[in-house]
Amino acid sequence: MLIQACQVVSPGASGISTTDPAPVQISDPQQDTHITLTRPHTVLLLATVRGGKAQRGAFTGAMADQFRSADGKTDISVMFDRASEIMDEREDCQYIGQCPEFRKTTKKQLILPPASN
């Protein structure tokens, strides 16, 4: 599983290699940040929809809580829905209207093993 935080990156940014393996293709003509899944068996969790505003840590924190409570039975899409609902209930997130996005190219459920304490 790959968990990656995406932010706007300027062309030629240091530390970014075109040979690095990644489950997504990013095209950026004139800052048109668009992500296309190109590999099977991939789940992509986005903190907000394209063009949306995201409060730092709001969705990632709620999703981290879901990862910590993994029980070996719950599909990641259910975990995503729960994290989205929890985030929406937080008063400090309601004013921005943050809308997380879930994309997948999997054909089966993705169930994480139980979290170790």
Q: H helices of the chain, where? A: 58-68, 76-89, 91-94
61: phi > 0 → left, psi -120 to 50 → alpha, else beta; which?
alpha
What are the tens digits of pLDDT across the range 35-92? 788 889 999 999 888 888 888 888 999 999 999 999 999 999 999 999 999 888 876 6
DSSP state of 64: H
What are the tens digits of pLDDT across the range 13-32? 444 455 444 545 454 455 55
Angle at 14 between CA 100 and CA 27, to 5 degrees: 45
Spatial contact of 25 and 49, defined as CB atoms under 8 Å apart:
no
CA distance 34 to 87: 24
Residue with tokens 């459920």: 109
pLDDT (0 to 100) of residue 2: 52
